[in-house]
Structure 1
Amino acid sequence: MLYTSLNNYGAILHPAPTLFNIGRIENGHSYTHYIEGITPSIANFLEKLDYERITLGKYFKIRLKPLNVWLSDTYGSKGDNLYDLLHNTHAYRKILGPDTLQHRYIIEDTLNGLVPFVHLARKCGIGLPITENLTNLIGHLLNIDVISLGRDLNDMGIASMDVNQILDYVTNGD
């Protein structure tokens, strides 16, 4: 369960670029999400966001693949950094960016991706400042309390457990 949840690359690749392209979206401009929507600066931000995801995985004794490695392994993408890898991922070339902020790239991947990362990090007693700031900013722009509305530890059935109990639970069951 934790491995699958923490390997949610959509939480890394979707909400932030969607947010950073809000002007295009609200002005009705069509764009390709991964090619035109992810600039070198945005890709650099995503690498930092991905590093926090990997750090969180270590607290649960999970070795997660960095997004760069996953793109290379999954799509055979080539490049020295995330920007180059994304721009060399043929499968992503024609995927359009959202045309509304009420899109799964921002709503679903924040509520069911980023928010659980925040809750899990808090359970571990660690900060994920980039993830938390991004999540809060998205909530403010959408005028919703994403932390309260998103998937939390109660939804996962692990709210009363400490990190070791969570590890035992996901490894051995009840």
Structure 2
Amino acid sequence: MQVSIIGAGGIAYSYAAFLADRGHNPMLWSPSGKRGTELAEGALLKASNALEGVFDVDVLRSAQQLADGEALIFAIPAFGYRDVMDRIAPVLRPDQTIILSAHLSFAALYLSKLLSARGLDCPIVAWNTTASTGRQTSSTSVSISLLRPKVEMAVIPHSAGEEALSLCRNLFGDRFSLVEDMIGVDLGNLNPSVHYGIAMFNLTRMELGEEWAQQPYITPAVARFLEDLDRERLRVAEAFGVQARSIHQAYAVPGKIEIGPLAEMLRQIVATRKGVNGPTSLDTRYVTEDVPYGLLTTVRLAELAQVDVPLHRAGITIFSSLYGRDFAAENQILPEIAEAFVSIETLRKAVSQGWTAI
């Protein structure tokens, strides 16, 4: 299958290798036009660690060529969603399926709004996390530390769920499961809360450009903070009546890492798994993406459900102070879909049927 990948960073490269390894034809598109030039000139993509191999990957020259893909996968940070969606909406075809990888901030609703203006009803798939991890080790290579065993997904419209589930499994294997709606997917994305704890309590390491491993620095004190943060998120999910996995369930590996106190689970992970290094700069999506598009969205949902989330609110305020920015004002998606947030009923209808249902 021809699959257009929007993005040319580490996750996009990992998807390209993953798809090529499964016999598909991945096509990378760099929205900035600055990445993937060597691959476009014929260089092969080398993958290492969780997936080993050398792959021939196509690179698209323009947004118009995205129309060639049977499926499109977003593999860019959430702060790039709106600009890219505005650029690609005019070229999409009605028979294409669009996948938002590690969906945040109900961006699928914004895309649904754009497509409804064209009279299109393309299925829009939202994943609660990425299918694989990836860090570029050069302009033609990627280190893939993990092929995720489980990814939750929801689809707009809900009626297209089974067909979209089959497509995702065809692309990346049997690792996907459908959840009832996109509210569960957004509240099931643990990246914002985990990255909040990692970045907040290791910020000086990031600022000084130190090389440090993430998991060992999630100390017992930080683990307690993450558990408290997780309880806030789960209370919001409960108020909406949706199932969301806990942070303990996310880190558990049957037969290897059993559910228990988070600090103990992380100790076992550090002892058994090769770790990932933390950010070496304040310019990291752990903050610039996950605060305005992750924490802020959870706060908006909490307001709608009348649930108190003081730690989430504090994170937005403290990171804004540390960075000298107003992260609450940087979300470019939520203001555009404010009509969907007038009530829980309206939001449920929108995520089940699409923007035209509002």
Is the TM-score greater than 0.5? yes
Greater Cα radius of gyration, structure 1 or 2: 2
Q: Percent identity?
A: 24
Does structure 1 conserve the Cα–Cα contact (< 8 Å) formed by 2:304 and 2:343?
yes
Coordinate RMSD, CA, aligned: 2.3
1:110 and 2:316 matched: no
Distance in 2 of aligned mates of 1:75 and 1:120:
35
Does structure 2 conserve the Cα–Cα contact (< 8 Å) formed by 1:116 and 1:151?
no
Distance in 1 of aligned mates of 2:233 and 2:292:
15
Matches within 5 A, 1:3-152: 3-35=184-216, 37-73=217-253, 76-78=256-258, 80-89=260-269, 93-150=274-331
Does structure 1 conserve the Cα–Cα contact (< 8 Å) formed by 2:235 and 2:307?
no
What TM-score, normalized to structure 2?
0.45
- Normalized per residue, the structure richer in helix is 1
Alignment correspondent of 2:347? 166
- Normalized per residue, the structure richer in strand is 2
Whose relative contact order is higher, 1 or 2, with alpha carbons under 8 Å and at least 6 apart? 1
Distance in 1 of aligned mates of 2:273 and 2:301:
30
What TM-score, normalized to structure 1?
0.87
Does structure 2 conserve the Cα–Cα contact (< 8 Å) formed by 1:15 and 1:105?
yes
Does structure 2 conserve the Cα–Cα contact (< 8 Å) formed by 1:153 and 1:159?
no
CA displacement at 1:48 relative to structure 2: 0.6
CA displacement at 1:9 relative to structure 2: 0.9
Does structure 1 conserve the Cα–Cα contact (< 8 Å) formed by 2:208 and 2:280?
no
Does structure 2 conserve the Cα–Cα contact (< 8 Å) formed by 1:10 and 1:109?
yes
Q: Deviations over 1:23-65 (max 9, x none)?
A: 2222332111122x21100010000111111111112211111
Does structure 1 conserve the Cα–Cα contact (< 8 Å) formed by 2:211 and 2:278?
yes
How many residues are paired up? 173
Distance in 2 of aligned mates of 1:75 and 1:2:
30
